[in-house]
Structure 1
Amino acid sequence: MENREQVVNSFPNSAYMEEKNPWQKCGILVVAIFGIIAVVALVVILVVQNMPLTQKYKYGIVLDAGSSHTTVFIYEWPAEKDNNTGRAKQKHACNVKGPGISSYAGAPWKAGQSLRDCMQEVEMTIPRKRHAETPLYLGATAGMRLLNLKNSSASEEVFRAVSDALQTFPFSYQGARILSGQEEGAYGWVTVNYLDDRLKQGLKTTGALDLGGASTQISFVSTTWDGVEAPANSVTFRLYGNDYNLYTHSFLCYGKDQALKMALAQQTRSGPGSINDPCFHPGYVETNNYSKLYDSPCVSDRKPQGAPATFQHTGIGNFQQCQDVVRTLFNFSQCKYSRCSFNGVHQPPVEGLFGAFSAYYYVMKFLNLNDMPYPLHKVKEKIANFCATPWEKVKEQNPKVKLEFLMTYCFTGTYLLTLLTEGYNFTSEMYSNIKFIHKIKGSDAGWTLGYMLNLTNMIPAEAPDTPPLPYGGYVAAVTITALILLFIVLLAVCAFRPGCHKRPHII
């Protein structure tokens, strides 16, 4: 027995030996390789999935052919999100030099020629590879509506010249047409609420007030009106899964330029050789031509018989008297509905917030009344003081403003205030709900974006689908999966390690 112990003790490293497996080293190597490959692959997927990619965009072009000028807008949106969650936004705007296309009735070719500089600018702005697929639209508003009423053949010639010019550019030309007043108002409402994310999020919408040179539009959702009383003023939309019953109306001839013509026609209805106009500054004197004043369909039937060729137009600058003149442009006596705005047009009570754009914004900006909600009495006071300012002093204080615009701000300020408060029935309290806006999140307020969104079907009727997991949930799920995989690999490696499963025995 002693001898046996001595033998055992004399060979300590041979007494207990680990069971050897000839495939052990090979198995460990294989598991380790596959584990490393799996982990590396998962990390690569995560990095590639979340690395920033170069954003690709699609584009659309809309020409706003207004009564006084034309503006070319470029819109862009993410290429992979055409009508789902991608936001269309304004990339660029170009103001066409010269008057609106309706002014070229006597020389239609000039209407097309006037667009070329801006269109060449557009051609350089949009990537060349996107040219052929970029839709190009031209929408004409009240200026062309009036020309079409006055001379339909001239209107057709202008459109032909404009179309010929636009088709020379490498875009997908979709045609030119006259928008109805209802369309102009409705698309302006869509633009304002789309840019403010109210449609997508199902929020309470904002009303839209648009004032151009030849027409003005009011559009809003009323909770007290179902469209039955005046169906011609009703437009129904289903956008992002929500239904909107929109009240909208356009007043042709009630844009700022045509309203001024109507005010002058009212004061010259007897054919005088001179008038003292309270809507122009004291010291303003100009000789006007009767034929030019009455060349618009808005006033052509009022031209006095036997009037001289010209009349002297003298300003006296009185806000109260100017309001009296402006009030004569509205007919408040006739209404066959439960309630009306003016001229016998039905309108439910205004409610909620409103965005006022186009000429509303530019006039109120000039008068420094656009940045904050001034009380109505302060607005009247400021316009009254401006109207009473002598013409020479007004010119001296505003040397950079074109005289053709500067001389009309007293009238236009008085007009738009009267239109809002007495025409549309905004009370002193409701007036504070009007915000005078130019841009929303970098895009101009107006009908053009809403028009393009409608024609390209970019606003879905139903709410877009969302992924089953939000981005944060997706990352968490992948991370947990990676940790589980790593844990399994470690277990497998441990299983093959010599120290993890010793089975000693005596030799």
Structure 2
Amino acid sequence: MSAQREMKEKNPWQTPVMIIITVIGVIAIVALVTVAVLQNRPLLQKYKYGIVLDAGSSHTALYIYEWPAEKDNNTGRVEQTHSCKVKGPGISSYASAPLEAGESLRACMQEAEKLVPGKRHHETPLYLGATAGMRLLNIENSSASDKVFQAVGDALQKFPFSYQGARILSGQEEGAFGWVTVNYLDDRLKQGLETTGALDLGGASTQISFVSNNYDGSESPRNSVTFRLYGNDYNLYTHSFLCYGKDQALKMTLAQMAKEGPATVFDPCFHPGYTATKNYSILYDGPCVSDRKPQAALATFTHTGKGNFLQCQEAVKSVFNFTYCKYSRCSFNGVFQPLLQGPFGAFSAYYFVMNFLNLTDTSIPLETVKDSLKRYCATPWNQIMLLHPDVKLKYLAEYCFSGTYILTLLTEGYNFTSKSYSDIKFIKKIKSSDAGWTLGYMLNLTNMIPAENPDSPPLPHVGYVSILSVIAVLLFILFILFILSLRPLWPRCSKQPQIV
């Protein structure tokens, strides 16, 4: 019995100290791994929101944007989660009844109130940006413009969001923010890739924006915008042509054809068989056409379609000035434009018109596109109505003109050739977000695109936890090996004496 007691006393595995050390070591390692996993596990994602109202010339649209709330400086990826088209015309159409402009926004704002979580309402910024329609109204009647904005502001402040005001965007801002949107959604800015140019066409204006290696901003500084985004500098060429949106361009083209005040205007941009009685005073209403009104004209005229693409294109060219240019090169109306460079995204009315005409595929040769449009314009009006019974007649009647205008603007105005036409991509959305200026506008106002790339962890969460776990296991194995290495030093246990 004394030998057994001596053996137990000399065996370190059976001493309380070694048992405690071993247990504590195991517990410490398990705790290390557990804490690392729990501390670094992905949290339930929380989001922040922003709302932008695009008050265009023909209509207003509301967009809701969402991004991860946990990101430093709110630099998480922003995505559009909802859009709502306001019923009725653009807010500039309510000049004589401004209160109705504010009331028209109510339904879409109520949708936003339901879709944005209640606890985020007070911190959700709400912006309204007005474009060319309000620019024209402000030129024509600044007092009426102010009253519309006052009514819109009063209506928006009744909702529980953080209202940041309503204002008119300059044409340069509209073009630049459209460029930011397209390149942000395509991840070109963060990755420092070649950027995509932006072509925007609305009802009252059109914008072209792109980066060109041949342009440093010195020849025409007013068309230059400089951005520093994600550590990269961009010298952007951008220009907005007021009155050259498709609706105002149609007015200008028709006004040019009717400048002599005839009783009947034979229009090659409308289908053969189309006829309508129109009012001269309405045709020449607005600053884009008011200076072209004939002195002696009847109250009305008969608008008759001829359906001839080539003649329509010549009529469209009459509203451009291609002769005057004081710079090394121009687009039209004496406006400087550097050499086109890179791919382009064409959105807004560009997309909607060309999509209706089934001409969004720019891999099709330009001449084939023109031939297709020739056939479409020559199609009798009664056949067009039968083919598209669900489209409003006003819009349906204008597609021949709109398609011809787009091709003329791109090739004659912006100097796209048969070769470079294939660089254009007609787009509606990029990764579920609408292409347009609204996202770029919000990103700029909320400083959500940093000038420098934000710091990021050297390892992703999964990689970090995996490495930590491997190290912990290695520590445990080394600990066991250390204990086992002491075994030769343990006293040899003699056999138990036999009890006789």
Query: How far apart, CA to CA, are the structure 2 residues paired with 1:22 and 1:384?
Result: 101
| Residues 462-491 of structure 1, C-alpha deviations (whole Å, 9 max, x = no match) | 111122334454234302321123124424
TM-aligned CA deviation for residue 414 of structure 1: 0.1
Matches within 5 A, 1:73-472: 73-81=63-71, 83=73, 85-471=75-461
CA contact under 8 A between 2:126 and 2:161: conserved in structure 1?
A: yes
Structure 2 counterpart of 1:27? 17
Query: How far apart, CA to CA, are the structure 1 residues paired with 2:269 and 2:11?
Result: 107
Structure 2 counterpart of 1:7? none
Structure 2 letter corresponding to 1:382 = S
Q: Does the alignment pair 1:18 with 2:7?
A: yes
CA contact under 8 A between 2:9 and 2:15: conserved in structure 1?
A: no
TM-score (norm 2): 0.95
Structure 2 counterpart of 1:5? none
Structure 2 letter corresponding to 1:18 = M
Query: How far apart, CA to CA, are the structure 2 residues paired with 1:60 and 1:123?
Result: 12
Structure 1 letter corresponding to 2:124 = T
TM-aligned CA deviation for residue 349 of structure 1: 1.2
Structure 1 letter corresponding to 2:490 = H
Query: How far apart, CA to CA, are the structure 2 residues paired with 1:192 and 1:83?
Result: 22
Query: How far apart, CA to CA, are the structure 2 residues paired with 1:115 and 1:84?
Result: 28
Structure 2 letter corresponding to 1:20 = E
TM-aligned CA deviation for residue 16 of structure 1: 12
TM-aligned CA deviation for residue 500 of structure 1: 7.3
Query: How far apart, CA to CA, are the structure 2 residues paired with 1:481 and 1:14?
Result: 43
SS, match of residue 351 in structure 2: helix
SS, match of residue 407 in structure 1: helix
129 and 500 in structure 1: CA distance in 2 versus 1, 3 angstrom threshold: farther
CA contact under 8 A between 2:67 and 2:74: conserved in structure 1?
A: no
CA contact under 8 A between 2:37 and 2:465: conserved in structure 1?
A: no
Structure 2 letter corresponding to 1:162 = V
Query: How far apart, CA to CA, are the structure 2 residues paired with 1:181 and 1:77?
Result: 28
Structure 2 letter corresponding to 1:294 = Y
15 and 369 in structure 1: CA distance in 2 versus 1, 3 angstrom threshold: closer
TM-aligned CA deviation for residue 69 of structure 1: 0.2
Moved more, 84-93 or 341-350: 84-93
TM-aligned CA deviation for residue 495 of structure 1: 7.1
CA contact under 8 A between 1:373 and 1:435: conserved in structure 2?
A: no
SS, match of residue 62 in structure 2: strand
Query: How far apart, CA to CA, are the structure 1 residues paired with 2:292 and 2:19?
Result: 100
Query: How far apart, CA to CA, are the structure 2 residues paired with 1:83 and 1:414?
Result: 46
CA contact under 8 A between 2:40 and 2:461: conserved in structure 1?
A: no
| Residues 401-460 of structure 1, C-alpha deviations (whole Å, 9 max, x = no match) | 111111100000000100000000001000000000000001000000000000000000
82 and 73 in structure 1: CA distance in 2 versus 1, 3 angstrom threshold: farther
SS, match of residue 123 in structure 1: helix
SS, match of residue 149 in structure 2: helix
- Taking only the aligned residue pairs, the percentage that are identical comes to 68
| Residues 136-156 of structure 1, C-alpha deviations (whole Å, 9 max, x = no match) | 000000000000000000000
TM-aligned CA deviation for residue 40 of structure 1: 2.4
CA contact under 8 A between 1:188 and 1:446: conserved in structure 2?
A: yes
Query: How far apart, CA to CA, are the structure 1 residues paired with 2:324 and 2:6?
Result: 113
Which structure has the bigger radius of gyration? 1
Query: How far apart, CA to CA, are the structure 2 residues paired with 1:371 and 1:420?
Result: 15
Structure 2 counterpart of 1:501? 490
| Residues 281-325 of structure 1, C-alpha deviations (whole Å, 9 max, x = no match) | 000000001111111110011111121110000001000000010
137 and 85 in structure 1: CA distance in 2 versus 1, 3 angstrom threshold: closer
CA contact under 8 A between 2:346 and 2:426: conserved in structure 1?
A: yes
| Residues 91-146 of structure 1, C-alpha deviations (whole Å, 9 max, x = no match) | 11000000000000000000000000000000000000000000000000000000
TM-aligned CA deviation for residue 30 of structure 1: 1.0
302 and 16 in structure 1: CA distance in 2 versus 1, 3 angstrom threshold: closer
Structure 2 counterpart of 1:4? none
Structure 2 letter corresponding to 1:420 = L
TM-score (norm 1): 0.94
Structure 1 letter corresponding to 2:9 = K
Query: How far apart, CA to CA, are the structure 2 residues paired with 1:240 and 1:352?
Result: 20
Query: How far apart, CA to CA, are the structure 1 residues paired with 2:490 and 2:70?
Result: 55
SS, match of residue 72 in structure 1: strand
| Residues 269-288 of structure 1, C-alpha deviations (whole Å, 9 max, x = no match) | 01111111000000000000
TM-aligned CA deviation for residue 27 of structure 1: 1.9
TM-aligned CA deviation for residue 39 of structure 1: 3.0
Moved more, 179-188 or 373-382: 373-382
Query: How far apart, CA to CA, are the structure 2 residues paired with 1:71 and 1:125?
Result: 16
SS, match of residue 132 in structure 1: helix
CA contact under 8 A between 1:84 and 1:460: conserved in structure 2?
A: no
Query: How far apart, CA to CA, are the structure 1 residues paired with 2:54 and 2:3?
Result: 97
Query: How far apart, CA to CA, are the structure 1 residues paired with 2:81 and 2:4?
Result: 84
CA contact under 8 A between 2:132 and 2:204: conserved in structure 1?
A: yes
Q: Does the alignment pair 1:482 with 2:463?
A: no
CA contact under 8 A between 1:17 and 1:505: conserved in structure 2?
A: no
